[in-house]
Amino acid sequence: MLDILMIEDEPNIAEAVQFILTREGWRVALHGDGLGGIEAIRGAKPRLVILDVMLPHRSGTEILAELRGDHDASLAATPVLMLTARGQATLALPQADAVLAKPFANDDLRAMVRRMLN
Amino acid sequence: MPFEALVAGCLAYVALMFGVAFAADRAAARGHLRWLDHPAVYTLSLSVYCSAWTFYGAVGYASRSGLEFATIYLGPTIVFAGAWWGLRRLVRVARMHHVTSIADLISARFGKSNRLAAIVTLIAVIAATPYVALQLQSVSLSFEVFATDSLTDIPMTGGGGTALWVAGGLALFTILFGTRNLAADERHHGVVTAIALEAVVKLLAFLAVGIFVVWGLADGPSDMLDRIARAAARHQGWILRPDRWTALLIVSGAAIVALPRMFQVLVVEAADEDRLAVAGWAFPAYLFAMSLFVLPIAVMGQQLLPPDANPDLYVLTLPARSGQNWLAFLVFLGGFSAATSMVVVCTIALATMISNHWIVPLWLMLRRKPQPEDPEDLRGFVLNARRLAILAVMAVGWVYYRATGGTTALAAMGLVAFTGMAQVLPAMIGGLLWRGANRQGAYAGVGCGFAIWMAMIFLPSVGVGASPPVPAGVDPLAFAIVLSLAANTLAFIALSIFGMPDPVERLQGLSFVSAVDPVRHSRVARGADGAEPLLVMARRVWGAEDALRFFRAEAAIQGKSGYLPDLTSRFLTRLERRLAGSVGAATAHAMIDSVAGGVELTVSDLMQVADEAQRAKEETQRLEHATTELARTARQLREANDKLTALSVQKDSFLGQISHELRTPMTSVRAFSEILRTPDLSPADRDRFAGIIFDESGRLTRLLDDLLDLSVLESGQAQLSITPANLHDLIERALSAASATRPERMFRVEREPLAEHLGILTDADRLLQVLINVISNARKYCDAEPPALSIHVRQTLRGGAQIDIVDNGSGIEIARQALIFEKFARLNDPARAGGAGLGLAICKEIMANLGGEITYLPGQGGAAFRIVLPRRPPVPVDAGQRLRA
């Protein structure tokens, strides 16, 4: 079973996050576009979703809202970690379980993911 | 004294009068009223009462009838003794109602009836015109005294055209200084000041003759008194007759108020009623001084001059025959002053009445338009009517003098005028004192008195018709005076008591009698059916909402529902006051009357309406101007605010975008540099991650370069190096540089090398930057297979260049076309190719700096850009003048 699905359009950031979390022993999958994001979550049913806010075609907040409204209650309750490059001012994202501002310390990312998965 | 010297001196004196009047008018126009408004000037101007009749005729009168002449001075003295009680009230009421003449006063008191005013004007004209003739005659006579040596052969008509010259000169003077303006208070400072000066001259002249007679011809006062006593014993006619004395005291007392010229100086020219405190004692003193030497001169004239010498000229002939040429000249000037001042003031007063109560009402009636549209129209017409009336009065006076050949006794004509104007007095006094006096009473009284006066006094005096029978033993003049005044008063009282009371004049009467604030009007109280037209009118002034609110509130006060209150006096008063706030008092009055009343408008009403309309027009224009100005300022502020708001939003979003664009590569750099510290990394991973860090830091540097470039270009401080350049070379270099972008794609490029050889003046590096950007974009985004690019150059009409760069891809969707030149336009673009989206924004700024532009050409198949360049770039523009949205 998949541990983490990451939806991020910047390939370098996606690669870095995947590298860091894979080394911790989690299985990480990537999706590179807002388009098809929610389908990817439904298909993979990950234990945790890492979601970039600014995505082409569909924004991270739109995908999050759709996820929370899903008729599958267990899917709708999937923990979501949001990544944002918009600075500290836009950290308030009420539907997300956690928010991490770019750029981040790798230790912070690891600690946050660990906490959310346990 | 030579006749020529007399004429020269006389002309010099006339010039002096013109000068004084002109200076006084100028000072008044500048607001320097200190001297002009002095009570002394006012008092002296009252001496216009002492006309040539008093100056020359009093001596003649005394010579014929002894002390009876004194009644002419005693009547006014008695009236002025009570000035503080009686005249003050008259002046106050008249000033309050802006009364312009005695006819106007009577009409104002009795319901603003113009017909009544027209009748009073008729009496004044009939009574006063012969009086004007009399003055012309006296001037002519006094000239003759100098022109001939004989004492007895003085022709009554005077010689040559003296009277005509005098009449013409006086008409000129009166028109010049009597119709300069049409001020609401009708004051004539120039005329009044000249008259005051003439008053001094005639008093000094008369006193000088008196002193000469008493101390020069007689042996001082005691000798003089002896001579008078001897003369009195000799004369049959010198008996005091109580009936005549009573009647003469009454008419002279009436004359001091009712004569047109006296009403003019006493009431119309008075700034306020307070100056009567001084005039109350000073004017009787003036009269006393004028009368002091009348009897001595008369007695000495009788004793020293031949029996057939004209007693009316004793004042002049006594010094002249005694060789006192300078004294005689002074006397001549005194008499001249007395005559001219009387004629000028009388003519002004008559002209005011004639124009206001005859000509203008007739004109308005003929026009059939109740209100003049143009205030200037009416103003000019009234002034011209007045000038015409002045000429007419003067002409009739002169014609009368020439036609009748003059009268033998100056005093008789004066008394005729006195008794005529006295007929207005009962209505005037009654109007001031008695609230019950009404218009019917005034008509009846004035009409009755006028008829008797015509039949018994005026017509016999001009030799028309026989004198009516008089009871034996009664003096005919006294009888006629008492009869006319008694009938007048009785008719006035009777019809006032029994006549129908008119509410309009009843309230006007209350205002006159109580002399408090004028109650402007009263209208017949009617039911609510009359309220509707008033509502319609009020809506035009205030707008529907306000008018309905006011009317509904008024109806509620009366305990009625709906919005049509009863037309009570209280409601009309409140409505008029509200309307007056919007359109001015007189207009409001006229508007309500026109709807609710049907009350006649008088000329003074119309003048006020005209004045207010003019003022309102100016005020409206001023307000409109201010409103336009305000609206423009508000619009400018709003625009500036909108711009600032837009700029602020833009700046916020720009900063957010910069933040995002900087944080994204920074995130990769930071994450991989931490990963690189991991000890057990494979060399391949290490190389790869180091490569990513290198690429991302390069991306950061490019972004910062672009931002800096953009800010320099936007601020207008970009350093341009303008050199001649060949477009062909630049396009070659751009194609070659851009081929580094996606070098794997092979583009077919269509060009026209001949057309490209175009020399222009520009910054070649900057233009190259634009060309590379556009061609690189084509290489990045053109999705056609095989890709092709067409570059088309042509010269513009003004010698510049136009470069179209078109690819064969699917182009830019319409919704995005407007945005592509904005900063970070590609931010949400799925096809973004690594750039931050500043390229085209920079191109746009470069082209603006070069004096050209870059635009997107829609509908060309693929993405199409047009670059337009001027032949030479414009002079660099100061950064502060560049306006950026």
Residue-wise pLDDT tens digits, B584-601: 555 666 667 666 654 444
Residue B153 has pLDDT above 50, yes or no: no
- The confidence score (pLDDT) of residue B408 equals 56
Closest to B791 in 3D by CA, of B768, B814, B775: B775
List of residues 6+ apart from B55 with CB closer than 8 A = B138, B202, B206, B315, B334, B335, B338, B339
* Most B-contacting residue of A13, A53, A54 (CB-CB within 10 A), to test interface: A13
- The confidence score (pLDDT) of residue B154 equals 47
Looking at the fold, whether B587 and B649 belong to one and the same domain comes out as no
Looking at the fold, whether B158 and B305 belong to one and the same domain comes out as yes
B299, part of any domain: yes
CATH code of the domain covering residue B808: 3.30.565.10
- Nearest-neighbour CA in chain A from B674: distance (Å): 7
Looking at the fold, whether B570 and B667 belong to one and the same domain comes out as no
Residues 65-94 on A with a CB inside 8 Å of B are 85-87
Looking at the fold, whether B464 and B575 belong to one and the same domain comes out as no
Structural contact between residues B76 and B50, judged by C-beta atoms closer than 8 angstroms? no
DSSP secondary structure string, B356-419? Answer: IIIIHHHHHHHHT-SS-S-HHHHHHHHHHHHHHHHHHHHHHHHHHHHHHT--S-HHHHHHHHHH
Residue B151 has pLDDT above 50, yes or no: no
Percentage of chain B modeled with pLDDT above 90: 12
CA angle B827, B830, B834 (to 5 degrees): 65
Could you say which DSSP state residue B53 is in?
Answer: I
- B516-569 pLDDT per residue, tens: 333 344 444 445 556 777 787 777 667 777 788 888 888 888 888 877 888 777
User: Distances in Å between the alpha carbon of B831 and those of A37, A86, B662, B777, B860?
Assistant: 17, 21, 19, 11, 21
List the beta bridge partners of residue B695. Answer: none
For B577, the domain range is 528-598
- B434-449 pLDDT per residue, tens: 877 888 888 999 999 9
The residue-averaged pLDDT of B616-626 equals 78
Which residues of chain A does B668 touch, with a Cβ-Cβ cutoff of 8 Å? Answer: 10, 12-13, 16
User: How do B801-807 and B788-795 pair as beta strands?
Assistant: antiparallel
B260, part of any domain: yes
Residue A9 has pLDDT above 50, yes or no: yes
Which of A42-51, A74-83, A88-97, B744-753 shows the lowest per-residue confidence on average (mean pLDDT)? A88-97
Which residues of chain B does A56 touch, with a Cβ-Cβ cutoff of 8 Å? Answer: 828-830, 832
Nearest to B667 among A13, A35, A56 (CB): A13
Task: Please indicate whether, in this complex, the C-beta atoms of A13 and B692 are within 8 angstroms of each other.
Answer: no
Instruction: Rounding to the nearest 10 degrees, give the CA dihedral for residues B588, B592, B594, B595.
Output: 140
Distance CA B476, CA B457 (A): 9
List the beta bridge partners of residue B788. Answer: B748
Task: Please indicate whether, in this complex, the C-beta atoms of B659 and A102 are within 8 angstroms of each other.
Answer: no
Instruction: Rounding to the nearest 10 degrees, give the CA dihedral for residues B872, B878, B881, B885.
Output: 70
ipTM score here?
0.92
Distance CA B790, CA B83 (A): 110
Nearest C-alpha in A relative to B664: A85
Could you say which DSSP state residue B569 is in?
Answer: H
Task: Please indicate whether, in this complex, the C-beta atoms of A87 and B829 are within 8 angstroms of each other.
Answer: no
Distance CA B307, CA B302 (A): 7
- B452-494 pLDDT per residue, tens: 988 888 887 777 766 667 776 777 888 888 889 999 999 999 8
Residue B784 has pLDDT above 90, yes or no: no
Looking at the fold, whether B229 and B320 belong to one and the same domain comes out as yes
Residue B156's pLDDT band, with cuts at 50, 70 and 90, is very low
Query: Would you state the structure tokens that stand for residue A45, as one six-digit string?
Result: 């049913």
Structural contact between residues B10 and B142, judged by C-beta atoms closer than 8 angstroms? no
Looking at the fold, whether B470 and B551 belong to one and the same domain comes out as no
Task: Please indicate whether, in this complex, the C-beta atoms of B663 and A106 are within 8 angstroms of each other.
Answer: no
- Nearest-neighbour CA in chain B from A46: distance (Å): 23
Looking at the fold, whether B131 and B268 belong to one and the same domain comes out as yes
Residue B798 has pLDDT above 50, yes or no: yes
Structural contact between residues B214 and B318, judged by C-beta atoms closer than 8 angstroms? no
Distance CA B695, CA B681 (A): 20
Number of domains in chain B: 4
CA angle A47, A48, A49 (to 5 degrees): 135
Distance CA B267, CA B87 (A): 9
Residue B204 has pLDDT above 90, yes or no: yes
Looking at the fold, whether B678 and B741 belong to one and the same domain comes out as no
Could you say which DSSP state residue B468 is in?
Answer: P
Instruction: Rounding to the nearest 10 degrees, give the CA dihedral for residues B316, B321, B324, B327.
Output: 0
Looking at the fold, whether B45 and B159 belong to one and the same domain comes out as yes
- Chain B contact present for A56, CB below 8 A: yes
Question: Average pLDDT, whole number, for chain B?
Answer: 80
Helix (H, G, I), strand (E, B) or coil at B427: helix
- Nearest-neighbour CA in chain A from B696: distance (Å): 9
Find tokens 């016999």 and name the residue.
B460
Distance CA B703, CA B696 (A): 11
CATH code of the domain covering residue B640: 1.10.287
Domains of chain A (ranges; CATH) run 4-117 (3.40.50.2300)
CA angle B197, B198, B204 (to 5 degrees): 95
The residue type found at B303 is Q
Distance CA B49, CA B41 (A): 14
B28, part of any domain: yes
- Chain A contact present for B673, CB below 8 A: no
List of residues 6+ apart from A10 with CB closer than 8 A = A52, B664, B667, B668
Looking at the fold, whether B454 and B543 belong to one and the same domain comes out as no
Nearest to B692 among A12, A33, A87 (CB): A12
- Chain A contact present for B830, CB below 8 A: yes
Find tokens 């303006």 and name the residue.
B181
Residue B371 has pLDDT above 60, yes or no: no
Nearest to A106 among B666, B674, B830 (CB): B674
Distance CA B216, CA B304 (A): 13
Which residues of chain B does A104 touch, with a Cβ-Cβ cutoff of 8 Å? Answer: 667, 670-671
